[in-house]
């Protein structure tokens, strides 16, 4: 993505993670949503909203060319580490740890971050020590790639606009101060170490090394299956489900018709139970009585399938290719 001449490029813009897309689906498909899922949803969503609130501020800095990578997850020896926002400037690299936390935020004597809201305290690792451990790991990755001498700086950014931050620290700042702090940093690190082309090559290289966290699917226990809202939702009257009649899906409430309305439902199925589906599962999830209709719908997808006749399994992975999540 190239904007404003060549001054600013975002290599990897903030995107919903696969986990967030999955949790969005679960929010809609569970009849009674388990607490751990609803908590994970809150956390993932906060992470995404935090990342998304940064580029606006970064955009304002047009004086230096830089490359931005969001949610980069890299492998180092046997484990992975993730950096919320990595900004590659010619004279230094910046790691940002993004905290989208509401309430009163403080740091206790044991150097932990405390979030107080609604008479409940939550304790987190000190965000700068988190960022510093990412820095050490990133340094090793960069060494392997032959980039040794470039300084790496870390900042913690609080993106929730009404958070009450009770401490003052030049490297743990509310998002509104980011622009000012970045200007200071570009003055501090004023000696260019890499040229534009090296920066771009490195940005692309790091992006190619990104590894998405794999999804964990639901185990189809009786309890889980009973707790699912099945069917093809009418896009207008959700969670009202549509019925398959005369070769199309029809909503009995608003009259909306769409012969491809099962596609979003199949995407939901994938996020819930995994990449493959057979006829029986399709009938169960789409609320179809007819084995022939289900078969027709599945065959029409023109996707890879395995096995014969009754045990035919279809691979729905391709449905996720262009899927960006709930609006």
Whether the bond into 65 is cis, omega within 30 of 0? no
Residue choice 251, 266, 286, 297 for contact with Zn ion (CB under 5 A): 251
Contact segment (CB under 5 A) with Zn ion among 23-31, 205-213, 250-258, 282-290 equals 250-258
Distance CA 7, CA 90 (A): 12
Distance CA 46, CA 225 (A): 28
- Between 107 and 242, name the residue whose CB sits nearer to Zn ion: 242
Backbone angles phi, psi at 224, to 5 degrees: -65, -45
By CB under 5 A, the count of residues binding Zn ion is 7
Distance CA 146, CA 149 (A): 9
Distance CA 310, CA 326 (A): 34
11 near Zn ion (CB under 5 A): no
Residue choice 4, 188, 204, 236 for contact with Zn ion (CB under 5 A): 236
232 near Zn ion (CB under 5 A): no
254 near Zn ion (CB under 5 A): yes
In order of 78, 114, 115, 272, the CA distances from 124 in angstroms are 25, 6, 8, 30
234 near Zn ion (CB under 5 A): yes
Strands annotated E in 77-188 = 79-89, 93-99, 104-107, 112-117, 120-125, 152-158, 164-165, 172-174
For residue 243, the minimal CB distance to Zn ion (Å) is 11
For residue 233, the minimal CB distance to Zn ion (Å) is 9
Nearest-5° angle of CA 154, CA 128, CA 51?
Answer: 65
Contact segment (CB under 5 A) with Zn ion among 17-25, 58-66, 138-146, 226-234 equals 226-234
Evaluate the CA torsion angle 76, 49, 319, 314 in order and state its sign.
positive
317 near Zn ion (CB under 5 A): no
Distance CA 126, CA 133 (A): 11
For residue 244, the minimal CB distance to Zn ion (Å) is 14
Beta bridge partners of 112: 125
Q: For residue 282, which of 300, 301, 264, 269 has the smallest C-alpha distance?
A: 269
Residue choice 30, 256, 275, 323 for contact with Zn ion (CB under 5 A): 256
The SS3 assignment for 42 reads helix
Furthest CA-CA distance within the chain: 70
For residue 279, the minimal CB distance to Zn ion (Å) is 27
Nearest-5° angle of CA 302, CA 248, CA 270?
Answer: 45
Contact segment (CB under 5 A) with Zn ion among 11-19, 126-134, 236-244, 292-300 equals 236-244
Residue choice 49, 104, 237, 263 for contact with Zn ion (CB under 5 A): 237
76 near Zn ion (CB under 5 A): no
**And the tokens for 186?**
């570009």
- Between 233 and 273, name the residue whose CB sits nearer to Zn ion: 233
257 near Zn ion (CB under 5 A): no
258 near Zn ion (CB under 5 A): no
- Between 38 and 248, name the residue whose CB sits nearer to Zn ion: 248
8 near Zn ion (CB under 5 A): no
238 near Zn ion (CB under 5 A): no
Contact segment (CB under 5 A) with Zn ion among 117-125, 145-153, 253-261, 300-308 equals 253-261
Contact segment (CB under 5 A) with Zn ion among 87-95, 174-182, 214-222, 243-251 equals 243-251
253 near Zn ion (CB under 5 A): yes
Q: Which residues bind Zn ion (CB under 5 A)?
A: 234, 236-237, 251, 253-254, 256
């Amino acid at each position: 993505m190239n904007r404003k001449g060549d001054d600013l490029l975002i290599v990897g813009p903030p995107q919903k993670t696969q986990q967030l897309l999955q949790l969005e689906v679960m929010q809609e498909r569970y009849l009674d949503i388990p607490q751990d899922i609803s908590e994970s949803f809150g956390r993932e969503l906060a992470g995404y909203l935090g990342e998304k609130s940064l580029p606006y501020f970064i955009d304002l800095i047009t004086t230096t060319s830089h490359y931005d990578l969001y949610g980069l997850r890299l492998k180092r020896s046997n484990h992975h580490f993730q950096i919320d926002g990595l900004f590659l400037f010619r004279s230094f690299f910046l790691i940002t740890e993004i905290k989208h936390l509401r309430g009163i935020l403080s740091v206790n004597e044991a150097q932990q971050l405390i979030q107080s809201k609604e008479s409940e305290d939550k304790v987190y690792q000190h965000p700068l020590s988190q960022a510093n451990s990412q820095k050490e790991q990133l340094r090793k990755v960069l060494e392997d790639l032959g980039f040794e001498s470039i300084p790496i700086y870390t900042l913690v950014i609080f993106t929730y606009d009404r958070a009450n931050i009770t401490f003052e620290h030049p490297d743990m700042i509310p998002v509104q101060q980011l622009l000012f702090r970045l200007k200071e940093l570009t003055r501090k690190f004023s000696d260019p170490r890499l040229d534009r082309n090296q920066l771009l090559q490195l940005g692309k290289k790091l992006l190619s090394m990104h590894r998405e966290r794999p999804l964990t699917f639901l185990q189809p226990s009786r309890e889980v299956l009973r707790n699912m809202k099945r069917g093809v939702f009418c896009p207008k009257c959700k969670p009202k489900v549509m019925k398959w009649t005369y070769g199309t899906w029809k909503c009995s409430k608003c009259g909306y018709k769409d012969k491809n309305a099962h596609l979003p439902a199949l995407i939901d199925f994938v996020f819930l139970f995994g990449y493959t589906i057979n006829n029986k599962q399709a009938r169960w999830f789409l609320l179809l009585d007819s084995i022939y209709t289900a078969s027709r719908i599945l065959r029409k997808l023109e996707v890879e399938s395995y096995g014969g006749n009754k045990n035919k399994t279809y691979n729905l992975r391709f449905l996720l290719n262009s899927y960006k999540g709930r609006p």
